Amino acid sequence: MILGLDISTAITGATVIDRNGEVITCEAWRFQNKRQYPNLHAKAAEVKEHFLKMKLMYPIEAIYIEQSLWAFRSGQSSAKTIMTLAKFNGIISWIAYETFGIHPEYIGATQARKMCGVPRKQPGEDIKKVVLKFLLDTEEEFCYDETKFGNPVPGTYDRADSLIIARAGAKCQQKKK
């Protein structure tokens, strides 16, 4: 089984797929409650709990993680944000290794989408919405709830991204064999 992760300090998406490509679980772990998760360590401890449960339930053979940002994007990422995400990504990568005994591998989001056949976004389009539409069109089991305003509930895009990472990871595994 393959574990795909979309790591973020607000919401982390996690998907497990089996050798046949069947989605076993596709989850979003939310860390937005500042009282419950006041710092990265509290968030990491929660991820570790999820990993320990997964270890009991699924024989994970490979772990693929969306590679964290490497550069600034105008108007989107400050140096502080990039450093915080990189730290959290490193902490979670270590916890994954420690829990499963597997060295995680990293895949860039653009590379993963390309490997899975996600169409390129058009100018002005939101890539998250493109990925979501692609999954709704291609993944029979993928669904989501909406807010009262008709938007995907928080965590939907993170689940979607983790599924794309898991699918791309499966393709990487096939190439290795």
- What is the mean predicted confidence (pLDDT) over 42-48? 95
Helices (H) and strands (E) in the chain, counts: 5, 5
This prediction has a pTM of: 0.90
The percent of residues in the chain predicted with pLDDT above 90, rounded, is 71
Find the range with the poorest average confidence among 16-20, 41-45, 117-121, 135-139: 117-121
What is the domain count for the chain? 1
User: Is residue 46 over pLDDT 60?
Assistant: yes
Q: How confident is the model at residue 72 (pLDDT cuts 50, 70, 90)?
A: very low
What is the residue-averaged pLDDT of the chain? 90
pLDDT at 175: 83
Instruction: List the domain range (segments joined by +) for residue 88.
Output: 2-176
Q: How confident is the model at residue 5 (pLDDT cuts 50, 70, 90)?
A: very high
pLDDT at 160: 95
The percent of residues in the chain predicted with pLDDT above 70, rounded, is 94
Q: Higher pLDDT residue, 23 or 72?
A: 23
pLDDT tens across 11-24, in order? 999 999 998 989 99
CATH number of residue 167's parent domain: 3.30.420.10
- What is the mean predicted confidence (pLDDT) over 26-41? 92
User: Which residues, 6 or more positions from 118, have their beta carbon under 8 angstroms from its beta carbon?
Assistant: 130, 131, 134, 164
Q: Phi/psi at 154 (nearest 5 deg)?
A: -55, 135
pLDDT at 84: 82
